Amino acid sequence: MSFHKKLATALEQALEQAQQKGLIVTANLPEITIERPAKPENGDYASSLPLKLARVIGMRPMEIADAILKNLPSIENIEKIDVAPPGFINFTISRKWLCGQVDIACKTGESYGDTDLDHKSVQIEFVSVNPTGPLHVGHGRGAVLGSTLANVLRSAGYRVSTEYYINDAGSQLDAFYRSLFARYRQCLGEEAELPENGYHGNYMIDFARQIVEVHKDKYLKMPPDEAVQEIGGIGIQMVMQKLKEDLEKLGVKFDVWFSELSLFQNGQFDKTMTMLREGSFVTERENAVWFASSTLGDDRDNVLIRTDGTPTYFASDIAYHYNKFVERKFDTVIDIWGADHQGHVSRMKAVMNAMEINPDRLTIIITQLVTLRRGQEIVRVSKRSGDLITLREVMDEVGADACRFVFLSRSADSQMDFDLELAIKQSADNPVYYVQYAHARICSILKNALEKGIDFSKGDTSLLKLEPELTLIRNMVKISEVIETVATGLEPHHLPFYAQELATVFHSFYKQCRVISDDDALTRSRLKLVKAAQIVLAKTLHLMGMTAPESM
């Protein structure tokens, strides 16, 4: 159990005891939160419970704090508890426990900090862009968010499955097929117009040229409709191959690649439509089939089957989520969508009610837009192709690690500026470089110790007494709290902030405490501390899907 939970439980028990003794007026308990004090001298943890309770019962906060303090049970590994105006209860961790964490980190390795919040099955579906073109930076943001959440939730005990939903059915694919066939004909010297709703990017010309290189004029010799389908199928394979290569370069892997087309082939679509009709959630008007989502709290009804008989993406999504919850029985599903899907959230929640599934089991995270910059200049167009800049181009310029760190550095609901110049700058101004350099510096220290033949495996961590040493340990042990915070709030932006904080504290420790000195015992204890810091910093980088370089 984390200190947060231990302290919250102890405060709740103390408050109940104080109420039973008549020291505090009985009232509904406010939420008990545990925080990190802004000033280190105020301890490691603090609670403002007395201040919250004072508003409810009319007692002075300091009187409430004193009453709680008198009834607090013994809390393991807490050596000091005090009250500070205007009504905070502060807790200080024992030095013995802190020093012991260095030994535990060195012994357990990168499993250090893992928690056991839950064992529920969680499916995270992300990216899922139509296979009609290359990934752009917005897709990259969702990819990094999803893969990082998967890493953290696994560290928190959840059973996680990651999934890419391939939109290989629908009207946009037909437009892609016909656009590619037109480019193919143009590459062979024929006149051909692109469809009005087609895909005009230069990447379509590249695909067409590759098809010509392999198949020559084969598709000019067959009926046009048949040629469109065959070329379209080749094009989809080419796009998917590029997507997988880009995602792999970004450090993103999926457990499942799920085909939208399979929903129609395997009967899930028909099954869900029948279920909605039987539940009286389907109406027919204006020659279309509608989902009566307005009866379930949405602001309007939504089309399921268009007037031409083709299903909407919304209809496919219903079948897809039926498959997730009912057939594959995931306890929780997390969908990560782009900003253009904001309006889709309420109707999906309405669908959950229609399927008699608790809507709280579905979490939809909307990622906001990314603006690329070079310093003060906004970058809109690719120098290479004249089109919008692709994710691959950004990775080629700044590297996958920088992409991941920057994408994670803001909460998903915040718009983001991505400074390409800063991302490759080798200075403390660049947080990516700053954090990875801290890890490389640690590795250099440990390598130096190895070359000197220093065995620190039995270093006595009780010798760690100076404030820079203890401050470093205090920051190291936060890793479990960070994992819990990210896992419960689904907010991975806490990771890069923690990584920067840990790097800063390590750099400060390194400046103030000579690691390898004439004092052999202290050298071994500090080297053990350095090793523990390396383990925690590497774990943090790996949770973010980044590399932990040994040299820079």
2 vs 6, higher pLDDT: 6
pLDDT tens per residue across span 3-56: 888 899 999 999 999 889 988 887 777 788 899 888 878 899 999 999 999 888
Per-residue pLDDT at 412? 95
The mean per-residue pLDDT over the stretch 64-69 comes to 93
Q: Is the pLDDT of residue 155 over 60?
A: yes
Pairing assessment for the beta strands 416-419 and 370-374 based on DSSP bridges: parallel
DSSP per-residue letters across 267-322: THHHHHHHHHHHTT-EEEETTEEEE-GGGGT-SS-EEEE-TTSPBPHHHHHHHHHH
pLDDT digits (tens, 9 = 90+) for 188-211: 999 999 988 888 888 999 999 999
Superfamily of domain 429-543 in the CATH hierarchy: Isoleucyl-tRNA Synthetase; Domain 1 (1.10.730.10)
**Bond from prior residue into 86 cis (ω within 30 degrees of 0):** yes
Q: How confident is the model at residue 171 (pLDDT cuts 50, 70, 90)?
A: confident
Task: State the burial class of residue 76 (Cβ atoms within 10 Å of its Cβ: 0-12, 13-18, 19+).
Answer: exposed
The CA distance from 137 to 288, in Å, is 36
Which of 86, 74, 72, 79 minimizes the C-alpha distance to 11? 72
pLDDT at 407: 97
Structure confidence at residue 95 (pLDDT): 95
CA neighbor of 380 nearest in space, from 346, 349, 420:
420
- Average pLDDT, integer, range 448-460: 96
Whole-number pLDDT of residue 237 = 94
Where are the chain's structural domains? Answer: 3-93, 171-249, 429-543
Q: Which residues pair with 416 in a beta bridge?
A: 370
Q: What's the pLDDT score for residue 296?
A: 85
Contact status, residue 261 vs residue 252, Cβ threshold 8 Å: no
More confident residue, 103 or 344: 103
Q: Which two tokens stand for residue 305?
A: 């089957």
| Residue 289 pLDDT exceeds 80 | yes
Query: What is the average pLDDT value for the chain, to the nearest integer?
Result: 93
pLDDT of amino acid 460: 97
Instruction: Specify whether the CB–CB gap between 254 and 164 falls below 8 A.
Output: yes
Residue 382 reports pLDDT greater than 80: no
As a whole number, mean pLDDT of residues 285-298 equals: 89
* pLDDT tens-digit series, residues 234-268: 999 999 999 999 999 999 999 999 999 999 999 99
Per-residue pLDDT, averaged over 141-162, amounts to 98
Distance set, CA 411 to CA 58, 470, 509 (Å): 38, 30, 30
- Rounded to whole angstroms, the Cα distance separating 523 from 460 reads 10
Task: Report whether 256 contacts 164 (CB < 8 A).
Answer: yes
Quickly state the pLDDT bin for 142 (edges 50, 70, 90). very high
Question: Can you tell me the mean pLDDT for 376-400?
Answer: 83
Same fold, 3-93 and 429-543: no
DSSP 56-107: HH---HHHHHHHHHHTPPP-TTEEEEEEETTTEEEEEE-HHHHHHHHHHHHH
Average pLDDT over residues 292-318: 90
d(Cα 239, Cα 184) in Å, to the nearest integer?
A: 16
Q: Does the structural domain 3-93 have CATH classification 3.30.1360.70?
A: yes
383 or 358, higher pLDDT = 358
Q: How confident is the model at residue 383, as a pLDDT?
A: 58
